[in-house]
């Protein structure tokens, strides 16, 4: 369970970081 929880948390963080990165690029441009 711990591994699954960590994997889910990491996945969420990566997804959020990707979304923020895309938004940042659009705003910068």
What string of pLDDT tens digits covers the 29 residues of the chain? 799 999 999 999 999 999 988 776 666 55
Position 29 scores a pLDDT of 56
Position 24 scores a pLDDT of 67
Domain residue spans of the chain: 1-29
Q: Where are the beta strands (DSSP E) in the chain?
A: none
Element (H, E) at 23: helix 2-28
Position 21 scores a pLDDT of 84
CA 6, CA 11: separation in Å to the nearest integer?
A: 8
Position 22 scores a pLDDT of 79
């Amino acid at each position: 369970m711990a591994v699954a929880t960590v994997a889910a948390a990491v996945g969420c963080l990566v997804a959020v970081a990707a979304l923020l990165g895309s938004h940042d690029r659009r705003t910068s441009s």
